[in-house]
Amino acid sequence: MKKLRVAILFGGRSAEHQISLLSAKNVVNSIDRDLFEPILIGISKEGVWHINGDSLKLLNPDDPKQIQLGELGEEVVLSHNDQSIIGIDASESIGSVDVVYPVLHGTYGEDGSVQGLAKLAGLPCVGCGILGSAIGMDKDIMKKILRDGGIGIADFFTFRKGSNRNPSYEEVVDRLGHELFVKPANLGSSVGVSFATTKEEFEKALEEGFKYDRKVIVEEKVKGREIEVAVMGNDEPIASVPGEIMPKSGWYSFENKYVDEDGAALGIPADLDESTTKRMMEAAVETYILLELSGLTRVDFFLKEDGSLIVNEVNTLPGFTSISMYPKLWEYSGISQRELITKLIHYALERHEQEMALAR
C-alpha cells in the first residue's frame, strides 16, 4: 500500500516556537514510517518555511529554552493548485502532500491560520478546523461560549490594549479578589502568564501580557485540583481517563512544564472516585462538542473542594513532548504514541472526506 505523505509543520512565529520543536521531535520519532512518509517543514520565527528532509535538524534539542532550528533547507511554499510543496529557488514541485500535520502551538498555527491554509489547498489537516481552532485559542471567546452553554468557568475580566473602557484595579479586586491570574488571551504553555496579589504586580502583569496579545484575560484564582482529560475524534469523540497535575510551585508555570523535570508530578489516572471520573470525562466531551472541536484537544479542569467542575481552558494542539499529558493519558489507556498519531491522521482524512462530500 502506498504510504501517505504527511507534511509535518513545526517551529513557527509564535512565542511557543521552542515548545513546538520539542513536540515535533517526539512526533517525528513516533510516527509509523510503514504507513506514512513524513515531509518535515521547519518554520522560522520570521514565518519562512524550509524543507527539512526526512530528519529533524535541531540545535540544543534537549534544552527547552535553547532549542532552535538548525540547518535550514530550501525555502518552500504550499501550492494551492496541486497540493504540492514548491521550492522557491527553482519554482519546481518537490512532491505532492496527502495530509498536513501542524505541530504548531499558539498563534500562526493553533489559531486557525494554518488550518485555513490547508483548507484553501484542499488538504486534510490534523486537529481542529478553522472555527474550533480560533475559539479554542481565544480564551475570552471560549469562556463566553462555555458560560452560555452552562459549563463552569473561572470569573474573569477582559482587558483590551489601548482601551479606555478597561475596568480599574479596584473594580477587578472587588469582584475577583486579590489573587489574580493575568494571561494573554491567545497564547498557551503558560507563556506571558503572571500571578498578581498587589496593584503593582497587577500592572506589571498586564504589561507583560500585552507584549504577546492585544487582549488580556484577568481571572480569579480558583482553589482546586488541576485535572486534565484528553479527547479525540470527530462525530463521536471519546475521552481518556483524567490525569492530575501536581506542580511543585504554586502554579503550573513554563518552568514546571518544560524546564524542570521534577517541576510537577503527573497522576495518571487521577485519584478520583468512579462517579467523579465519569462526570469529568462526560464534561470534557460536552466541552469538545460545544466549542466545535474535532480531531484532538486537551480539556483542563479545576476540581473544587465542593466537587464542582471549572473548565480552565482547552488546548486544541496540546503539547506532544515525551512527558506531555495528552499522549501519556492515551498511553495509560493502551494506545501507544505511534498508534495515537495514526489515529489523529485518520481523523483528519475522515473529516476532509466528509467536507468534500458536501454540496457546493
Catalogue all structural domains in the chain, each as residue range(s) with its CATH number: 4-125 (3.40.50.20), 135-152+223-354 (3.30.470.20), 156-220 (3.30.1490.20)
Residues 6+ apart with CB under 8 A from 303: 224, 225, 227, 272, 276, 280, 309
**What would the grid cell of residue 187 be?**
497564547
The distance from CA 232 to its chain's CA centroid, rounded to whole angstroms, is 13
The whole-angstrom separation of Cα 44 and Cα 312 is 31
**What would the grid cell of residue 355 be?**
467536507
Strand ordering across the sheet containing 49-51: 49-51, 36-43, 4-11, 99-103
pLDDT in tens, 19-72: 999 999 999 999 999 999 999 999 999 999 999 876 787 888 878 888 888 878
Predicted model pTM: 0.91
Q: Which of 119, 98, 82 is nearest to 7 (CA)?
A: 98
Between the alpha carbon of residue 315 and those of residues 75, 91, 104, 232, the distances in Å are: 30, 36, 12, 12
Cross-strand pairs, 42: 10, 50
Q: Which amino acid is at 134?
A: A
Task: State the chain's maximal CA–CA distance in angstroms.
Answer: 65
pLDDT in tens, 300-311: 999 999 999 999
Q: Which amino acid is at 71?
A: E
Q: Which of 141, 335, 328 is nearest to 233 (CA)?
A: 335
Q: Which of 148, 169, 187 is nearest to 311 (CA)?
A: 148
DSSP 8-state assignment for residue 292 = T
- Res 222: pLDDT: 95
In this prediction, residues 227-239 reach a mean pLDDT of 98
Question: Is 322's pLDDT higher than 90?
Answer: no
Question: Is 257's pLDDT higher than 60?
Answer: no
pLDDT in tens, 69-85: 887 888 999 987 778 88
b/e string for 70-92 if b means 16 or more Cβ within 10 A?
eeebeebebeeeebbbbeeeeee
pLDDT in tens, 166-195: 999 999 999 999 999 999 998 765 778 999
| Total residues found in the chain within this entry | 360
The distance from CA 290 to its chain's CA centroid, rounded to whole angstroms, is 17
